[in-house]
Every structure is written in C-alpha cells, then in structure tokens.
Amino acid sequence: MALYPKVFFVSLLTACVFALTSVSSAQVSHADPVQVKPPLLRTIDPPSPDATASTLEARADELHGQKLYFDAIDYYRAALGKISGEGQAKIYNKICRTQLVMTRWRDGQKSCRQAIKADRKMPDPYNNLGVAYYEEKRYGAAIKQYHKAIELDDSAASFYSNLGAALFAKKDFEKSAKAYQRALELDPDVFERSSRQGVQAQVPSPEDRARYDYTVAKLYAKMGFSERSLEYLRKAMEEGYKDFKNVYKDEEFAELRKDKRFTELMAMKTPALPE
C-alpha cells in the first residue's frame, strides 16, 4: 500500500511568537494557521501474490465498479501474470475499458491492440479501439474498427450505435441513420445506457446534438415508440434544431402527429425571435 508522508505546517508568525517570549512580555495576536490537507491515503491492499487469476479479475471488476480505476488496473495486471495465450485477451480488454473511462485514449489503444493480438476473434477490443480513435476525432479509423467488431458479432447494439456516431460525426447522415436503426432494432434501450462489455461512444459536438436527437426521434417514431420519440423531439426542440419544422411533413412522424401529446409538445414550442 502506497503511503504518503505527513506534512505539518507552522506559520512564520507563530514561530516568531515563540522566539519573542524570551525577550518580551508583550502579547502578540495572530490568526489561526491555515493547514493544507495531506493527500488521501490509498486504502486498497495490493494484489496478493497467492491469489488466483479469477480472484484477482473479480476483485478488479469490483474496484472498477467503485471507480477506483488505478487499483482496478493493478489487479487486472496481476491477473495477467497468472494466465497466458487467448485467456489474456479478456483482461487486456478490461484494462482498455478502464483506461478509456479514465480518458487515457493512447493507453487504451495500446491495451486494445494487446487484446486483439491475444485473440483476433474477440469483437470487443475492436469496438473499444474504435472508441479510442473516435475520441481523438479519427472517425475513419474508428469506423474501420467498428466494422471489424460487427463482422465478428453482428448482434451487439452498441457496436452499431458507435458506428452510427462515427458516421454522424463525418456528416454521413444517411448511413448513420441506418446504423442507428439497426442498433435500435437490436436493443431499444441502447441510447439509454452503455454496453456492459464495450464502451459506447456518444456524439460529443454540441452543434450536432440537436440533429442527433431529431434523428433518434424519427427512428423511435418509425418503430412505434411514441413516448421515446416525443422525448427526443423535446430535446431537439430545446436545443434549437434548425429544421424542426420538418416534423410536420416527415413520414416517420405520421402516426405520432395524431397523438395529442405531440400537439401539446408543439404548443410549447417557443416562437423564433425575428432577425
């Protein structure tokens, strides 16, 4: 367990008071000294050399869930030392996942590549490597990795969602909508949560957020999820989507326009200020 030395602070004025007591009976008033708190001590015991790989991995998973990411990585690496071959791929992928949560994109890329090297048929590291590229705005490279992940597993909604995000960032809205639609077909809740095994990228650009929400509203409306469609329409409205008037003519909203909640939502729309 790493320890930090305790630091004690004595104000200069206090020191002078002690010095003056031997030559003067004058009383000196002074403010309470300001003390800086020492760094918090790490409270997690280091990995036991006698623990099995599975025990170390399980403990690392717990630490990750508690957001103790550095300690989690320590335990994952300790587990790596006890296994070999393809068994390492899962651990490297978890290290990658943890590093991406910490926004350590380059470290995450390295760990993902190690996972891929250990097992080239495991889809999650390709997806997570795509996320790392995406966060660096390397959208073409991200798309390539997402396609590799999908080739290995075309049932993961988060892979399609991430692909949609990268295509959206490249302004390829038609292909993006198709990827998002496939993600919703696989999991209608995909936009409400992150994948348990992968790291789900989100559209980061504020200027594109309104269009993204409008696109998702169309997809939900097309699939008959009226409540969620209205939720995303409201977001697009609040964010000032410039083509929001298309809601009255886009065929995806044909059924939704019959819903009284749609009428109520439209009645709440703030009129645009005159230029």
The per-residue pLDDT for range 119-155, each reduced to its tens digit, is: 999 999 999 999 999 999 999 999 999 999 999 999 9
In which band, very low, low, confident or very high, does the pLDDT at 84 lie, cut at 50, 70 and 90? Answer: confident
pLDDT band for 8, please (50, 70, 90 cuts). Answer: very low
**Residue 34's pLDDT is what?**
55
pLDDT of residue 9: 36
pTM: 0.76
Given a cut of 50, whether residue 14 has pLDDT beyond it is no
* Whole-number average pLDDT of the chain: 83
| C-alpha to C-alpha distance for 216 and 123, rounded to whole angstroms | 26
Model confidence at 1: pLDDT above 80: no
Tell me what pLDDT residue 200 has. Answer: 63
- Banded pLDDT at 44 (limits 50, 70, 90): confident
Banded pLDDT at 268 (limits 50, 70, 90): confident
Cβ atoms of 216 and 234 closer than 8 Å: no
Closest C-alpha to 185, from 223, 143, 151: 223
Q: Please write the tens of the pLDDT for every residue from 183-235.
A: 999 999 988 765 455 666 666 566 688 999 999 999 999 999 999 999 999 99
- On the question of pLDDT at 57 being above 60, the answer is yes
Residue 250 has pLDDT above 70, yes or no: yes
pLDDT of 199: 65
Average pLDDT (266-270) is 78
Q: What is the mean pLDDT of residues 224-250?
A: 93
The pLDDT, as a whole number, for residue 219 is 94
